[in-house]
Amino acid sequence: MFHDTRKLLVFLTIFTQCNASSSADDRETLYNLTRFDGVALILARGGSKGIPRKNLVTISGISLLGRAIKTINESGAFSEIWVSTDSAEIAKEADKCEC
């Protein structure tokens, strides 16, 4: 989660203080420290041997890939989401999910 030890130490210090004081500024700083400025990478192979096309299986109308993308978006933890795949069908689903 943390790119370097200094960031982790600052996070732990602020986290401890937030538990004691819970000011809005402390909570905002804590949020900013836990937010990545990086990329979430979803590896979505098309040729699964166990469950073929499992990334496209739908539950309640949403594909498993769509659920992963939605969860990452809702977390607010990453600035971008990339999907790596060998399947045109999975790539099309990723585009549909707007990642």
Residues 77/81/86/43 CA torsion (nearest 10 deg): 0
Distance (Å, whole) CA 53 – CA 44: 9
What type of residue is 21? S
pLDDT at 89: 94
pLDDT at 84: 92
pLDDT at 26: 63
pLDDT surpasses 80 at 1: no
pTM of the model: 0.62
Give the mean pLDDT of 5-12.
50
pLDDT at 93: 94
pLDDT at 2: 42
The predicted-structure confidence for 39-96, as pLDDT tens digits, reads as follows 889 999 888 788 888 999 999 999 999 999 999 998 888 888 999 999 999 999 999 9
At residue 91, the 3 state secondary structure works out as helix
Q: Which two tokens stand for residue 34?
A: 């836990």
Q: Are 39 and 3 in contact (CB under 8 A)?
A: no
